[in-house]
Chains A and B, each alone.
Chain A
Amino acid sequence: MKIVALVKHVPDAAADRTFNEADHTTDRTNVDGILSELDEYAVEAALKIAESGDAEVVALTMGPDAALDAVKRALQMGADSGAHVADDALHGSDAVATSAVLAAAIQKIGDVDLILTGMASTDGGMSVVPAMLAERLGLAHVGFVGELNVEAGSVRARRDADVTETVEAALPAIVSVTDQINEPRYPSFKGIMAAKKKPVETWSLADLGVDAGTVGLAAAWTTVETVTKRPERTQGEIVTDEGDGGAKLVEFLAGQKFV
């Protein structure tokens, strides 16, 4: 069985995040990037399936050169190989374009039985790419999965959405997993050293047969008009209880429109 884990390279949430002044896209060059933490759960889920049966795990990313780090991290954790779609024309692509490119890459990988993704990226946070991919590839999509079992030709998954439900889907399928599904492993030192020797393919849009005019900032369905920096965190307010502590707390909360 062949599993593709989608991995996104995102700016480290612990660092200051900025936008390019010219086009308001996320600044990905001046900040440290990491594998989106929510995607680590997808990689872990893929590795667990691979360990309990006979499966190959491919880590796939789309993004600038630095995005290769997300693939490397997945390889260090234990994925077997990687694929990286990189093309200058991709700069500023929206979810619609991203899903088209990833769909083409998945088709190029070929014979894929299961596609695993995180439940959202930690930068864009739209959670739409898995469903769009499913639509483009004509596959079943099970989202927000907190428990996953692979059986012969199908998956059984517990969806933790508004209600909890257990659904079954025929393979091939796309499953996005939540941060409740597992505890992602650290890459072991052996994994880190083995990763260097694992194969990684790099594809341009031409390699995938995707028209550069259909992706990128110009083709995006939405644009970011302005960005505003989050206000500096202000000092907390300390309420000293002089018999009226409770009332003062309620006053504060009401003032902030929390109650």
Chain B
Amino acid sequence: MTGTSPLDLLKVDHLLDDEETAIQETVRRFVDDHVRPHIAGWYEDGLSPETVREVARAAGKLGLLGMHLTGYGCAGTNAVSYGLACLELEAGDSGLRSLVSVQGSLAMYAIWRFGSEEQKQRWLPGMAAGELIGCFGLTEPDFGSNPAGMRTRARRDGSDWVLDGTKMWITNGTVADVAVVWAQTDDGIRGFAVPTDTPGFSAPTIGRKLSLRASVTSELVLDGVRLPADAVLPDVTGLRGPLSCLNEARFGIVFGALGAARDCLQATLEYASDREVFDRPLSSFQLTQAKLADMALELQKGFLLAMHLGRLKDSHRLEHRQVSLGKLNNVREALGIARECRTILGASGITLEYPVLRHANNLESVLTYEGTSEIHQLVIGQALTGSPAFS
């Protein structure tokens, strides 16, 4: 007996137009061909910088990098298409979606939105093509949820800028050609496009991770990094700069996390119908069906929420606290689904033969980065009560 695909019960595909469907299908095929055959190995061994570059080039060819930006070699799709691409990428692995998020929504977006024309010309076309890798340095060892307290400093020396400080947990720091680094200045927080071959810049890889293993995570060490005057992103001062980039990436995660959940649920449906326990398919037991029904329900509610936010974004009405609602719900539910799926797979569920624990472990990072669940609860709490509980 074949069951209905877990994302199809509500016929959500009717919410998409032809172009959005074509983009989603193309990314799904890309993931099937280029990611699925390798992902268990990438996860087990960790992703090498060479593989990051290879994947980035393939993604660039497709138009995935900075896909929702316009000009400079970017495809210029709508926000819903970008979300759907994130969903399909994360169905492959959150690490892969992180690469695309960081490149497009954090590093490229910062330059595209706040950079000078020269900075855009210098960096964006190569980044869109996947020839140049970008990273985004906001978090510091002692300042994660509270980036306003950052200690990295940029001081003027003549017309030059000199940067000192340490950034932590920076995706693709070790691989990057350009690091967008946020630092305190006398005028407030400013962003800098730092070529990573500048003397004084180093980016050791963070090892021993149990999550997001198919992604490179690094420390950035800035030791008297001297930059010319034109390295500063001219068009923004203050925390609004990095926060608006994060809002872009978070939007992608609202969709992306559902991809991981869908992949878990699909693998679990197959497993439960093949696996016999007490002489019957596991899927025929009421307890299993209750789990499956609840998971499919959350997955589809999450998708409707994501689509609603996507349509708001495409009509330029999306507010940051709405993104907080989406990220809080969809990542939390996706993680719940991944863990519940793991129970259905039993011992098989703890291996890399199946995607469920890999997704669950990845989603622990996704729950934390781009604003932790708690911070999003506080954002929503502030919206409801008018009282900010976190500052």
Chain A interface residues toward B at CB < 8 A: 72, 76, 186-190, 192-193, 196
Contacts and interface: CB of A to CB of B under 8 A. Distances in A.
B76 interface: yes
A189 B64 contact: yes
Contacts, number: 35
Contacts of B29: 186
Given A72-B18, A190-B75, 19 more contacts: A76-B22, A186-B26, A187-B22, A188-B61, A188-B62, A188-B63, A188-B75, A189-B62, A189-B63, A189-B64, A189-B75, A189-B81, A190-B63, A192-B19, A192-B23, A192-B26, A193-B19, A196-B18, A196-B19
Contacts of A193: 19, 75-77
Nearest to B73: A190
Given A76-B22, A196-B19, A189 B30 contact: no
B67 interface: yes
Nearest to B58: A186
Interface in B8-35: 18-19, 22-23, 26, 29-30
A192 B75 CA distance: 10
A108 B331 CA distance: 55
22 contacts: A72-B18, A72-B22, A76-B22, A186-B26, A186-B29, A186-B30, A187-B26, A188-B61, A188-B62, A188-B63, A189-B26, A189-B63, A189-B67, A189-B75, A189-B81, A190-B75, A190-B76, A192-B23, A193-B19, A193-B75, A193-B76, A196-B19
A224 to B, nearest CB: 26
Interface in B25-84: 26, 29-30, 61-64, 67, 75-77, 81
A192 B26 CA distance: 10
A193 B77 CA distance: 8
A186 B62 CA distance: 7
Q: Looking at chain B's contact residues, is the secondary structure mostly helix, strand, loop, or mixed?
A: helix
Interface of B: 18-19, 22-23, 26, 29-30, 61-64, 67, 75-77, 81
Contacts of B23: 189, 192
Contacts of B81: 189
Q: Looking at chain A's contact residues, is the secondary structure mostly helix, strand, loop, or mixed?
A: helix
Contacts of A189: 23, 26, 62-64, 67, 75, 77, 81
A78 B77 CA distance: 17
A26 B12 CA distance: 27
Contacts of A192: 19, 22-23, 26
A138 B75 CA distance: 43
Contacts of B26: 186-187, 189, 192
Nearest to A188: B63
Contacts of A188: 61-63, 75
B76 to A, nearest CB: 7
Nearest to B64: A189
Contacts of B67: 189
A182 B77 CA distance: 28
B226 to A, nearest CB: 38
A189 B24 CA distance: 10
Nearest to B26: A186
A233 to B, nearest CB: 12
A196 B76 CA distance: 14
Contacts of B76: 190, 193
Contacts of A72: 18, 22
A121 B177 CA distance: 46
A190 B61 CA distance: 10
B136 to A, nearest CB: 22
A182 to B, nearest CB: 15
B71 to A, nearest CB: 12
Interface hub of A76, A192, A196 (most chain B Cβ within 10 A): A192
Nearest to B63: A189
A44 B99 CA distance: 29
Interface hub of A186, A187, A188, A189 (most chain B Cβ within 10 A): A189
A76 B63 CA distance: 13
A114 to B, nearest CB: 26
A188 B62 CA distance: 4
Nearest to A186: B26
Nearest to A76: B22
Interface hub of B22, B23, B63, B81 (most chain A Cβ within 10 A): B22
